Amino acid sequence: MASVAYNQSVLIISPRYADDLAAMAVAAGLSPRLERVAAAAAARFAAEPAQVVVVDARGALPAGLAVAQALGGAVEVQRGAMLVLLSRGDAGAAQAVMAAGATSVLVSPFRADAFANALRLADRHAARLAQVAAAPPVLLAAGDPLTGLADADRLMIWTDDGLAAGQPVAVILLGVARLAQISMLHGRDMADRLLVAIARRLGPVADGPAQRGETRLLARLPGAEFALAVAGHGGEAAVEALARAMVQAFQRPFALDERLIHVSGRAGVALPETGTETGAELLREASLALAKARLREPGAVARYSAEAEGALLRRQADLESDLFRAIGAGDIAVLFQPQASLETGRIEGVEALVRWDHPVHGRLSAATLLETAATLELAVELGRHIRARAIAAAAAWQGPLAGLKLSINVTAADLADGEFVATLATDLARAGLSPRRLVLEVTEDAVIDDMEGAAATLALLRRDGVTVALDDFGTGYSSLARLARLPVDVIKLDRSFAQGLVGSDRERLVVTAMIATARGLGLAVVAEGVEDDVQLAAARAAGCDLVQGYCVAPPLDEAGLTAVCGAAAANPV
């Protein structure tokens, strides 16, 4: 086989097949470096960075995935490429390893020439990243001095020209979440650099495969929004596929200095409905569609519809005007979902969950309530209101509820609030609730952008007796590595892992390994979202300490909670 003339900087991480891979790499004209110990991969890469990293996960998917997660951010900082090798039976995990930071995947069995070709493509990817870093992604005349992209004025002119020429034109508006919070935590310079990094990542999406005659313009709009205008597109499905590709660009964190910044994106799509729209009207319609997407989960894509958007605007206006009144009047309900001990079968604690029964729109989810509060910049005030009510309720409990631990969710906005610790201490003292009965649940998303600051705040609270739980464990990046850095006492397995406990052998292996790791660190484990007796038995067999979910009880008011706790005392779960 002929030698391949490309980058010589290759690090191969393979506990089992290092020699075989090295031989294939050498035959391809490389001088690879080898690392046989997966746990040492991050330290090895930090000491000896490489433009191309090969992670061999064949026969060891959990370990390989952990290595990919640990190296993903560092490889991106290096503007390198990561090739992950998977067994044929693990081909379904390709999406997971790509989300962890891999840039390509090769599934065995494969020949030496296929491996050499994969290395060549990885090297080309690294070279393209270097080129993109050296020059901003300018698709047409640029007007935004920060990113080098077109600005709003250029976007309008370009869109109007396409419409005037009779071309089918669509506008995709992408909203970036949490930019204001990042600016507050890390400074305006970090937020600006994040916008530049986002522009560079969106550039290849906008510059991707297109049908003949199709042209695109990527623009940055004021604030935390980007727009992609598409003229001569291939129809609604093609435009929505582009929108999904844009939001998927946020699946991996952005590496800035030594930080990994996690942000999410949502997109609104507008295509002409009447044939008389101007560029400004299309952008307005895309903004309305984005408002709808913002009421959904991160990564959501919504399409503009005149009829649907009218109803959405009326609903959003109702929510925003009524939220002020609802907080002041105490109309935001706090319910409690029990957590049962798998050792005793008794209820040992509850999680406080917020619900809003709107007089017109009915019961609204916590996600909708928090989104509305964030829009009105009421997130911190709402958090204080909910905590104070839940703490006051728990302090007054008697009978079967006396002594129950109270778990309260804490957001990134709460942790960034300089008065958070003092306000919490005041609420506890005023209600007479012991800090030892309080559990603060934080997600990885809430701490990821200011790990040191969050760790210091949580350590201060733990010193006073408050318990700290890491919520939705396993859904973020490098969760296992982060456990060693955060002062936590409990992990709450994301509800998807309750399903994994009764899933395939591979799914059970991953979940039980996570539980064993947590127990080895002296942490209690709560299985969340346990719905039936089969999952309950699996959680008990896997070594969980507590379970929460409909197998125990749904979220309850105080009367319902009293009945469930009394029943559990007589008939343990």
Reported pTM: 0.52
3-state secondary structure 146-173: CCCCECHHHHHHHHHHHHHCCCCEEEEE
Decide if 203 contacts 137 (C-beta within 8 A): yes
CATH number, domain with residue 157? 3.30.70.270
> Rounded to whole angstroms, what are the CA distances from 260 to 53, 98, 425, 453, 469?
19, 16, 31, 15, 22
* Same domain, yes or no: 365 and 514: yes
Domain termination site, one of 70, 105, 134: 134
Task: Give the whole-angstrom CA distance, residue 269 versus residue 489.
Answer: 44
Does residue 358 share a domain with residue 255? no
User: Of 277, 360, 281, nearest to 314 (Cα)?
Assistant: 360
- The contacts of residue 233 (CB under 8 Å, 6+ apart) are 168, 169, 170, 211, 214, 239
Indicate if 505 and 388 belong to the same structural domain: yes
- Helical (H) or strand (E) element with 531: none
- Residue 255 is assigned to a structural domain of this protein: yes
- The answer to whether position 4 is within a domain reads no
Question: Tell me, what's the pLDDT at 372?
Answer: 66
Residue 253 DSSP class: P
- Domain of residue 187 covers 152-304
323: in domain: no
The count of domains in the chain is 3
CATH at residue 540? 3.20.20.450
DSSP at 264: -
| Residue 246 within a domain | yes
What spatial distance separates the first Cα and last Cα of the chain, rounded to whole Å? 65
Block means of pLDDT (10 residues each) for the chain, 573 residues, are 48 89 85 85 82 90 84 75 87 73 83 84 72 46 78 88 85 88 74 91 85 87 90 87 92 79 89 75 87 81 72 58 70 90 93 81 69 66 88 94 94 82 93 96 72 84 93 59 77 75 72 82 90 88 91 92 84 73
Q: Are 107 and 251 in a shared domain?
A: no
Neighbouring residues of 329: CB distance < 8 A, sequence distance ≥ 6: none
Look at strands 169-176 and 265-270 and give their pairing.
antiparallel
Same-domain check for residues 212 and 347 = no
Q: For residue 143, is it within any domain?
A: no
Q: Give the SS3 label for residue 97.
A: helix
- 465-475: burial string, b at 16+ Cβ within 10 Å, e else: ebbbbbbbbbe
Same domain, 251 and 128: no
What CATH number corresponds to the domain at position 85?
Answer: 3.40.50.2300
- pLDDT for the residue 6: 40
- 223 within some domain: yes
> Could you tell me if 408 and 441 are in contact, meaning their C-beta atoms sit under 8 angstroms apart?
yes
Residues 482 and 555 in one domain: yes
Number of helical H runs and strand E runs in the chain: 22, 21
- Of 304, 339, 372, the residue that ends a domain is 304
Q: Give me the pLDDT at residue 377, please.
A: 61
In a domain, 129, yes or no: yes
pLDDT value of position 2: 35
Q: Omega before 15 cis (within 30°)?
A: no
